[in-house]
Structure 1
Amino acid sequence: MGLSFPRLHARTQRFGLGVPRGFTVSPDGERVVFVRSGSGTDRTHKLWVLDLPADGGEAAERVVAEPSALLAGAEEELSAEERARRERSREGSAGIVGYAVDAAAEIAAFALSGRLFTAELRSGTARELPVPGPVLDPRPSPDGRRVAYVSGGALRVIGTDGSGDMELAVPEDAGTTYGLAEFIASEEMGRDRGFWWSPDSDGLLVARADDRAVRRWYIADPAHPDREPQKVGYPAAGTPNAEVRLFRYGLDGSRTEVVWDRERFPYLARVHWSSAGAPLLLVQARDQRSQRVLAVDPAAGTTATVREDTDPAWLELLPGVPCWSPDGRLVRVGDESGARALSVGEDRLTDAALHVRAVLDVGPDDVLVSASAGAAAAAPETGETHVYRVSATGAERVSEGVGWHGAVRSGAVTVLVSSRPDAPGAVARVLRDGKPVAVVGSSGAEPPLRARPVLTEAGERRIPCAVLLPSWYEEGQGPLPVLMDPYGGPHGPRAVAAHNAHLTSQWFAEQGFAVVVADGRGTPWRSPAWEKAVLRDFSVTLEDQVAAVRALAERFPLDLERVAVRGWSFGGYLAGLAVLRRPDVFHAAVVGAPVTDWRLYDTHYTERYLGTPEADPEVYAAQSLLTDDGLAEPGEPARPMMIVHGLADDNVVVAHALRLSSALLAAGRPHEVLPLSGVTHMTPQEQVAENLLLLQVDFLKRSLGGFPGHQPGGRG
């Protein structure tokens, strides 16, 4: 008998293993670099190159770095620092999970088992460099002659020939690091690095993070009482952040601090350094309502304001910007006239028909962006995202067909990665001058079921939704119990036009549910106003879940007398909010890794939406699941809740779940608690991930009852 879907889903890491990712295109258009594991169940990624002959010959793939060979068959060992980095990026696989290249994409550097390796991408020769470890985030200089890396909190540099290893930036004490992103930057800002080479390869900008003022929390492992708790610095809302400063280090040993108004703009959100202009910094105020783009004089350390922006709600951070265009104009994306628009210099290049998500590449004649249909689009494109070439003459779509598309580009060569709602997996096509020249191979596993999402909009607010019914359901069989399956909050769209994104929802549908995924207000990529509707009030996310299920019941076989909800992280918070605030609509909930008291969540995320606990205590009380405002009135029915939480979670700590359980117990409200020993905010362990899905189904069926008798999908 084959593996069940829950076990295979876990073993394949959501069918992501064996799928190529992490693409880099060489500027000469001759190579595409990427990582890929050997099969759909192989966790160990290798470094690959796809050669693209200039004469139009057939493209060919080759391995340039094989972890098992480089480690001589030894098991990979991760340092605590590397495990933390992977937790921040939600990386659960092994081997070469990340790499960096020089400007010509001829040398790649990567860390493996805490050791430093380089690979010659033309010849395919890989070697280890003799350096102290454990090594973090190695990056070659643009000229390919050196590699900078972090070890022991210090930034070091070594020649790619293995000579001249030296400490460049050394921490003054145990509370500081050089060259690493602090917790808030990597968890919330999308900045996962802490140093940047100069275009001339003669020095670096290096971030210094001092977290001595950050409060310490202790994450214990109750299953192993003999082990000491893990001490972590966690900047909860309203408490001190790490202090971040920036220095310019020359390879000659010179050191110059980069100076800006850090008291007013403490967040270092973005750094860009290219040959097109001076280094650029994007710095934000703590309330994220104002920010500056600063140009740096590397020699003097002084900064000059290039642009300052303000917003009454908050300013969103986006990938790829700010940066310089090749002709030295500022490329940025901002919320203007109801749209998230791309501008180059003084020219605004997109209008309200597009909602720009990220800048992917800036060429001499155009900008490659990821975008979804904006508020003024001619027709809705529920769940879709596309790649566009934007220039002074307009926006031209590069991707084709309904789907979820992304791209990497350098020069004439583009790698276009496309997922579609009607086909499993993703296809990575290589284009040269817009014409297909190759497809990057995939060895991902085939899912044992087919997702059947119906992408639609619901209610007066046209809430993007996906509806999934059992494959065996036939018209006339009557309404089905409903499972709302949202994330429902900032940064987490789920009603997307991609097949594999809906596999777990489809599996739940096969157990006898009509599954609804609704992306209400607060979720991204509809419009700035849509995203910012949650300012000071997360309850609008619940309002839209209610509106969606009621509207969809007019078109789909939904039994509104049996509605459950499940979610993880913000989705877990939303699930708890649903049964506590609206027990008239929601009859059971699986509350996974929920934020129950926003005073216990981090600064950059929480303060963006809710302010600070000191200045806005009433806002925090209203959003909490623990206060009298959060718990349902005594006369309301007590709906069944299963609370699930990983005991090793350092992002949403288990205190959230425990405090919710205590509050429910004090209020006399029945509930179940499922603690996951050794599990972080991810659930990569196969047995845990499999049984967690099975236990959720059992709980939901017990809670709702009356399921259809014909369920051929069973537990498979």
Structure 2
Amino acid sequence: MTGQLSFPRQHARTQRFSLGAPRAFTVSPDGSRVVFLRSRSGTDRANVLWVLDLDAGREYPAADPMILLGGADEELSAEERARRERSREGSAGVVGYAVDNAVELAAFALSGRLFVAELRGGTARELTVPGPVVDPRPSPDGRRVAYVTGGTLRVVEADGSADRAVAEPENDTTTWGLAEFIAAEEMDRSRGFWWSPDGTALLAARADDAPVDRWWIADPANPGREPAEVAYPAAGTANASVSLSLLRLDGSRTDVLWDREQHPYLARVHWSADGAPLLLVQSRDQRSQVYLTVDTVSGATRVLHVDEDAIWLDLFAGVPAWSPQGDLVRIAEEDGARVLVVGDRALTGPGTHVRAVLDVGDDDVLVSASAGPGAADPETGQAHVYRVDERGAERLSEGEGWHSAVRSGAVTVLVSASLGRAGSEARVLRDGKQIAVVTSYAQEPVLTARVALTEAGERRIPCAVLLPTGYTEGDGPLPVLMDPYGGPHGQRVVAAHNAHLTSQWFADQGFAVIVADGRGTPHRSPAWEKSIRDDFAGATLDDQVEAVRALAGEYPLDLTRVGIRGWSYGGYLAALAVLRRPDVFHAGIAGAPVTDWRLYDTHYTERYLGHPDEQPAVYARNSLVTDEGLSEPAEQTRPLMIVHGLADDNVVAAHTLRLSSALLAAGRPHEVLPLSGVTHMTPQEQVAENLLLLQVDFLKRSLGVA
């Protein structure tokens, strides 16, 4: 029974309570169907493709992997494993799908095989094609399906006939139709081909990673296995060469031309019936980006708009796009805020911080936004859905919380989470009125997160504070656990219950837990995010110090016993804290930390720290393995546990090994916990569960907690 499980076991078994929750919604343009993914229980990893018939008021499965595979286990290709790692996808079954314009045909891959599902009738069938299949996508008219196998872009008729190659790689370093590592990992571009609106051609990315340095990731627990070769574009080294071509189904090819020397990053591609193909390309230093349209006859491009910024430019979901009237839709920085721009007019102001474009309608634009720097109320940790038109912005989501939406025509799926209830609720609205709720099978957590959202210090740092369940003032001050991510792209202080469950569990072990989103974390203001330029080690660490000291005046914090834990950037921050500020932090757990930024990838690292050949002192100052990184007095050495998955191809294990070697050479004690076969994610149930238990044990030992 669920109630008999410990939280670490339940948390691991349910994959952070994500299993059984509906996700990946698509609404049909006629407003009759909502398509989504959901597993059959809160512990079932295999997603089923479902259809909610709004007219009949019933759900039915359109594709069940158990039936389609005859009960056999999934077999994933190397390409599919890489795609799932880049998207941090830990579930199984149908993990992604694509549809035609009418949302009548869906295509997806299972065990490297190609399947299509008729969404009106709920029947699925396999198309026999060469495999393993990656990223199948129907044409807009539903007549064909394009897919990638072995780096070759192929097209097959929807009835399974006339399968043929559209573009084949000329060597083993080239792929067609796939996102290269840096696009998938850092640009949020997970695809590499786009259908023409009439279904007669494809825009396809050609990626050649021959220039990229080769790294080797071995499995030390199995020395007989050959190391895996990885093309990894570390900061300051060469990226893959990416180009774009228009491939017609009649066999003709037109290369798309732009200044790839000046703007080598292909960040976004948009092709709809509302205009010519639209590209967003970036310079390597990400201080310049150009919006281009493509002439489909000649392949020439024309500049629509140019963005430039002295610090860096960000990428956003859902843009660029065309409006039905042919205006360019984009998100821009104006008056210290992120605003929605349609054509040449900003439709939102500094009171609204636009995060993403969710849908472009005939008369309005649906966006995700939070309170901007000009708002009267900061609305700590909230995200809302707004409908924006020429008259301004109207909020559609109600109540404090974390909201998102998918829309087509008059039907919207509004997904809402709040601090007051576990999980999230997906409500289906037609013309603003609720007509259905999509059932969730996610498990109810065995504990309740009791979160106080607040702001700390002069900088008003957003924070979440959690105390042990049942704590009273008479219990006295508590040892402190800082539990941040604390860096770019990672907002942890959110008005959603489940986001704080692990922090609450740590609190219930006898700690006051603080999650602080300092400078560099997203969705407050551009200035807040960009203030960390060249200064990871200073700004992000200073804000953790300011937060804990400021909150000590409001909460029962024992500042003589302060620990910190984190993963990825949070792991870097945890190690940084005990090495640079042992006067504040008395123990740290660094999970998969970046310790030497020269070993991390180009697009991320160079955005914040510049090119290492041009700014070597910046890289040295922000590194944990330089003399400066280990410069604290020896008598103030603090306990440090470093945890790393040896199969990690994002933050490779060399980061931890180099830090351990530097600590050993400096005579500084520390613990290293290597995780055999584990990547940057930790989806394995036993590993995820025991990691929590080991962390608590380390913190109690190190901070003297009974």
What residue is the counterpart of 2:98 in the other structure?
A: 100
**Alpha-carbon offset, residue 635 of structure 1:** 4.6
Gaps of 5+ in 1: 708-716
Alignment of 1:630-709 (within 5 A): 630-707=629-706
What residue is the counterpart of 2:385 in the other structure?
A: 387
Alignment of 1:450-469 (within 5 A): 450-469=448-467
Contact kept, 8 Å, 1:485 with 1:565, in 2: the verdict is yes
Choose the corresponding residue for 1:378, options 368, 371, 376: 376
- C-alpha separation between the residues in 1 aligned to 2:324 and 2:420? 39
SS at match of 2:299: coil
TM-score, normalization: structure 2?
Answer: 0.99
What residue is the counterpart of 1:46 in the other structure?
A: 48
- C-alpha separation between the residues in 2 aligned to 1:310 and 1:240? 23
What residue is the counterpart of 2:145 in the other structure?
A: 147
Amino acid at match of 2:320: P
- C-alpha separation between the residues in 2 aligned to 1:137 and 1:159? 16
- C-alpha separation between the residues in 2 aligned to 1:469 and 1:567? 19
Amino acid at match of 1:306: L
1:162-203, Cα deviation, whole Å (9 max, x unpaired): 111000010000000000000000000000000000001110
1:75-101, Cα deviation, whole Å (9 max, x unpaired): 111011100100000001100010000
Amino acid at match of 1:46: V
- C-alpha separation between the residues in 2 aligned to 1:636 and 1:575? 19
Choose the corresponding residue for 2:317, options 313, 316, 319: 319
- C-alpha separation between the residues in 2 aligned to 1:428 and 1:624? 43
1:316-341, Cα deviation, whole Å (9 max, x unpaired): 00000011001000000011110101
What residue is the counterpart of 1:81 in the other structure?
A: 79
Contact kept, 8 Å, 1:213 with 1:242, in 2: the verdict is yes
Contact kept, 8 Å, 2:634 with 2:668, in 1: the verdict is no
- C-alpha separation between the residues in 1 aligned to 2:632 and 2:575? 14
**Alpha-carbon offset, residue 633 of structure 1:** 2.5
Choose the corresponding residue for 1:273, options 271, 274, 288: 271
- C-alpha separation between the residues in 2 aligned to 1:75 and 1:609? 42
What residue is the counterpart of 1:711 in the other structure?
A: none
**Alpha-carbon offset, residue 74 of structure 1:** 1.3
Alignment of 1:238-637 (within 5 A): 238-538=236-536, 539-637=538-636
1:88-144, Cα deviation, whole Å (9 max, x unpaired): 000011000100000000000000010000000001111000100000000000000
Q: Residues 706 and 97 (structure 1 numbering): CA distance in 2 closer, same or farther, change over 3 Å? A: closer
**Alpha-carbon offset, residue 256 of structure 1:** 0.5
- C-alpha separation between the residues in 1 aligned to 2:630 and 2:426? 48
- C-alpha separation between the residues in 1 aligned to 2:45 and 2:634? 51
Amino acid at match of 1:66: D
Contact kept, 8 Å, 1:34 with 1:49, in 2: the verdict is yes
Contact kept, 8 Å, 1:456 with 1:464, in 2: the verdict is yes
Contact kept, 8 Å, 1:583 with 1:636, in 2: the verdict is no
Contact kept, 8 Å, 1:284 with 1:292, in 2: the verdict is yes
Choose the corresponding residue for 1:13, options 15, 18, 22: 15
**Alpha-carbon offset, residue 61 of structure 1:** 0.6
Are 2:35 and 1:37 equivalent residues in the alignment?
no
Choose the corresponding residue for 1:116, options 111, 114, 117: 114
- C-alpha separation between the residues in 2 aligned to 1:632 and 1:390? 52
Contact kept, 8 Å, 2:203 with 2:247, in 1: the verdict is yes
Amino acid at match of 1:309: D
SS at match of 1:531: helix
- C-alpha separation between the residues in 2 aligned to 1:115 and 1:369? 36
**Alpha-carbon offset, residue 628 of structure 1:** 1.2
1:453-499, Cα deviation, whole Å (9 max, x unpaired): 10111111110000000012111211000000000000000011000
SS at match of 2:554: coil
1:382-413, Cα deviation, whole Å (9 max, x unpaired): 10000000111011001011110000000000
1:656-702, Cα deviation, whole Å (9 max, x unpaired): 00000010111111100000000000001111111111010000000
**Alpha-carbon offset, residue 3 of structure 1:** 2.1
Amino acid at match of 2:111: S
Alignment of 1:178-193 (within 5 A): 178-193=176-191
What residue is the counterpart of 2:208 in the other structure?
A: 210
What residue is the counterpart of 1:712 in the other structure?
A: none
SS at match of 1:111: strand
What residue is the counterpart of 2:223 in the other structure?
A: 225
SS at match of 2:44: coil
- C-alpha separation between the residues in 2 aligned to 1:375 and 1:347? 20
**Alpha-carbon offset, residue 706 of structure 1:** 3.8
SS at match of 2:490: coil
SS at match of 1:45: strand
SS at match of 1:502: helix
1:612-638, Cα deviation, whole Å (9 max, x unpaired): 110000000000001111113335500
Choose the corresponding residue for 1:71, options 60, 64, 69: 69
- C-alpha separation between the residues in 2 aligned to 1:383 and 1:418? 13
- C-alpha separation between the residues in 2 aligned to 1:201 and 1:455? 49
- C-alpha separation between the residues in 1 aligned to 2:107 and 2:130? 15
- C-alpha separation between the residues in 2 aligned to 1:689 and 1:47? 27
Q: Residues 442 and 706 (structure 1 numbering): CA distance in 2 closer, same or farther, change over 3 Å? A: closer
Amino acid at match of 1:649: D
Gaps of 5+ in 2: none
1:635-659, Cα deviation, whole Å (9 max, x unpaired): 5500000000000000000000000
Choose the corresponding residue for 2:132, options 131, 134, 148: 134
Contact kept, 8 Å, 1:148 with 1:156, in 2: the verdict is yes
- C-alpha separation between the residues in 1 aligned to 2:444 and 2:391? 42
- C-alpha separation between the residues in 2 aligned to 1:706 and 1:514? 12
Choose the corresponding residue for 1:234, options 214, 232, 235: 232
Contact kept, 8 Å, 2:256 with 2:294, in 1: the verdict is yes
Amino acid at match of 2:46: T
Contact kept, 8 Å, 1:352 with 1:377, in 2: the verdict is yes
Amino acid at match of 1:595: V
**Alpha-carbon offset, residue 24 of structure 1:** 0.2
What residue is the counterpart of 1:177 in the other structure?
A: 175
- C-alpha separation between the residues in 2 aligned to 1:129 and 1:23? 24
Amino acid at match of 2:246: R
1:208-264, Cα deviation, whole Å (9 max, x unpaired): 000011000000000000000000000000000000000000010010000000000
Count of residue correspondences: 703
Regions of 4+ moved over 6 Å: none
SS at match of 1:476: helix
Amino acid at match of 1:461: R
- C-alpha separation between the residues in 2 aligned to 1:219 and 1:635? 34
**Alpha-carbon offset, residue 4 of structure 1:** 1.5
SS at match of 2:114: strand
SS at match of 2:106: strand
- C-alpha separation between the residues in 2 aligned to 1:503 and 1:353? 31
Amino acid at match of 1:17: L
Amino acid at match of 1:431: L
- C-alpha separation between the residues in 1 aligned to 2:411 and 2:590? 45
